[in-house]
Amino acid sequence: MGMTRTPLIAGNWKMNLDHLQAVALVQKLHWSLKDAQHDFESVDVTVFPPFTDLRSVQTLIDADKIPFALGAQDISTHEQGAYTGEIAGEFLAKLDCRQVIIGHSERREYHGETDEVVAAKVAAALKNGIVPVICVGETSEDLEKHGASAVPVAQLEKALEGVAAGAEIVVAYEPVWAIGSGQAATPEQAQEVCEKLREVVAAKLGDDAGQSTRVLYGGSVKSGNIASFMREPDIDGALVGGGSIKVDEFSSIIRFQKHVGV
């Protein structure tokens, strides 16, 4: 792990939990970490609830001074206006959303988000002072056809086209073939791709950005395998799906440094 990079554990709740369940989960997670005497400074934690939960979670985080950052799962390419059902970056910024997931494989697959849409969303996030968590990854067909890392590298290059040097971003590598399969990539496979993604950041945004940008692994991350990923030099954290809505499991993932002596 680079000295300058604080690990980031990001919990993507996907379409789970209403606002009452959201409040209960965040409270329980905070209590669980406090009970375990977790060092909150050692790892950054961001939760990404559905839009309908954001205000409730924001209010709770503020009131109880809970040291988690709040993130959103998507952002509109547009400013406010006649875009029914869309959520502007300005609205997210007002709710103190620090980060936003962009280009998740589910958005690319089910909503036809292209690399151009992803780039426009990255620009919208940065314009509003929100850190984009840019998701890239390949399907098993991509892997077979183009080889390891070719597709995620191309996706990231496109996503960063309009981004200024010095902008803060996070990159998340999700091998689509590993998501929800229970079959994670090996730490070596993930490291190989994350290293290439870091090279893209350095080439596009400068060496400093290459050093400071956090690259996450996402795809069947569990408390039992998180440590093996975090040992790799270019993996700075995880984008956790299903495991992030189970208090004990997510708490254990956040505390990876304790239970493995990384």
The label of the residue with tokens 């971003």 reads 169
Look at residues 262, 202, 193, 175 and name the one whose alpha carbon lies nearest to residue 226. Answer: 262
Half-sphere exposure of 97 (CA within 13 A, CB side): 32
- Taking the CB of residue 160, how many other CB atoms lie within 10 A of it? 22
Catalytic residue among 106, 113, 138, 174, which? 174
What sign does the CA torsion over 43, 48, 177, 205 have?
Answer: negative
Pairing of strands 131-136, 170-173: parallel
Look at residues 217, 223, 170 and name the one whose alpha carbon lies nearest to residue 192. Answer: 217
Catalytic residue among 104, 106, 138, 232, which? 104
What sign does the CA torsion over 11, 17, 18, 21 have?
Answer: negative
The DSSP secondary-structure symbol of 233 reads T
For residue 104, indicate whether it is catalytic: yes
3-state class (DSSP) for residue 69? strand
219/176 Cα distance (integer angstroms): 7
Termini Cα distance of the chain: 10
- With 0-12 CB in 10 A as exposed, 13-18 as middle and 19+ as buried, what is 84? exposed
Q: Which residues are annotated as catalytic?
A: 104, 174
